[in-house]
Structure 1
Amino acid sequence: MRRLLPEPAEDVDPYHEYADAPGVRIGMVMSLDGSVTDAEGWSDGLGGEADFRVFRTLRALADAIVVGAATVRTGRLGPARLRTSLRERRGGPPAPIVVVSRSLDLDWTLPLFTEAETPTLVVTSRSAPLESAPVPLIAVGDDEVDLPAAVRALADMGLTRLLCEGGPALATAFVRAGAADELCLNIAPTLMGAAHRTPLVGVLDGPCDARLTALYEDEGVLFARYSLRR
């Protein structure tokens, strides 16, 4: 990976470059024409190995990895794992995955809940059937999940550096709530076309200003870091 901004440099270490993780970081990959999914409806095919290297790095640097319930319901999301080199640098097991689910309509038999090295947590609303969940719950908000309150509750547990991996609905909710500090946007050298376009975020109350703080390139993928104004 080479750094283009703020000070150009060759062969930089992603772990070092991204180490100054803020409170809530959104990590997403996007095609050149603005889609966060490929033709199959997933992000896997967009950024290639370069994207996966940064993806794994962001996970290793996080205290918790936050995902939406819709992503979990696909069954494609397994427990977080770390390669040996990243485990050594992190100094311990992978961060817990935190699922945001208003209703707790989840399949508790999935490996995400039954085989995770670090137990999976679930953030939900107080109106959900709390007694039905066999995993630790954080109930914030009456009928909807109160994301700022969830961030505070996780911080009280020592989980201060959160990585939101989306999907787009959850990323939108964090931005709308003013709870996101940084967007790490990986721009893949791919055009998906209108038939397969899934936007990064949905409807916002108004523009959210962003400031470019760093820019990198690796294997044709651009890695941009934006500070988001709360």
Structure 2
Amino acid sequence: MPDLDELADLYAYPDSHKPWLRTNFVASVDGGVQDPQGLSGHLGGEPDATVFKVLRSLSDVVLVGAGTARAEGYHPISADSIHESLREGRPRVPRLAVVSRNLDIPESLLTPGLIILTPASSPAEARQRLSQTAEVVVAGENAVDWPAVLDAFAARGLNRILCEGGPALHGSLVDLDLVDEACVTISPHLVGGPAKRITEGARAVELPMRLGHVVEEDGVLLTRWVRDRRAA
């Protein structure tokens, strides 16, 4: 396994003042993103956990759907869950941004640094209540307007974006061709059953990607794919 500095170089964000949207998922050999318990957190083992921590450490904001946050037991991002040496003058920890249409946000996440992304059709009373603790960003009318979200992130200096899912959220981003980079860990397992894929979208697309790198550790493949916009 590469050491911390080598991993930081492998996963470095481009030197740009524009938003860069990176997604991070783990999948089995047969394409499933859930283990038999319906979770993904342990599917990639220690190699995936190592990269997971590095990716968070390099980001400005971690984006996740409320359903995934509930299912995977998310907590506020703490300093001991990242590598502070990789922050390079940025705030001590990345911000957490949770997407929810009905504003059913886990109480454990309600801290002052939290960003809540929601459309205007979400419950107004809940928006008012949550805004007393978190920063509520209204983007879109009946569904979240993702280009508007990226603009909101940029206005806050949050250009290094890390999306951790789930598949429906990823599908919305893929559908709009907003994903700049996909970091996919291939777990050496077959899971069968009804496990979801990393993307659930309303329409089929075929977006060219180019391979950034592959790292193998204990049979786990750590891959990084970059959107090839030269072919667009």
Which of 68, 71, 76 aligns to 2:73? It is 76
Identity across the alignment (%)? 35
For 1:137 and 1:209, locate their aligned partners in 2 and report how far apart those are by CA, in whole Å: 34
Q: SS at 1:13's partner residue?
A: helix
Cα displacement (A) at 1:85: 7.5
Letter in 1 for 2:99: V
Report the more deviating stretch, 72-81 or 34-43. Answer: 72-81
Alignment of 1:19 with 2:16, yes or no, is no
> In the alignment, which residue of structure 2 is the partner of 1:5?
none
Change (3 A) 1:105 1:85: closer
Whether contact under 8 Å (2:120, 2:139) holds in the other structure is yes
1:42-80 deviation digits (Å, cap 9, x = unpaired)? 112211111000000000000000000212333711111
Partner of 1:99: 98
Query: Could you say what secondary structure the match of 1:54 adopts?
Result: helix
Match of 2:37 in 1: 40
The structure 1 residue matched to 2:121, chosen from 91, 113, 127, is: 127
Q: For 1:30, give the aligned amino acid.
A: A
CA distance in 2, matches of 1:85, 1:151: 23
Q: 1:36-185 counterparts in 2 under 5 A?
A: 36-74=33-71, 76-83=73-80, 86-91=83-88, 92-107=91-106, 110-114=107-111, 119-128=113-122, 129=124, 130-133=127-130, 134=132, 135-185=134-184
Per the TM alignment, residue 131 of structure 1 is displaced from its structure 2 partner at its CA by 1.7
SS state at 1:103 partner: coil
Contact 2:61-2:161 at 8 Å conserved across structures? yes
Letter in 2 for 1:167: G
Unaligned runs of 5+ in 1: 3-9
Contact 1:187–1:221 (CA<8 Å) still a contact in 2?
Answer: yes
Counterpart-to-counterpart distance in 1, 2:183 and 2:10: 12
Length, aligned pairs only: 217
How far apart are the structure 2 equivalents of 1:120 and 1:188? 31
Q: Tell me the TM-score normalised to structure 2 length.
A: 0.85
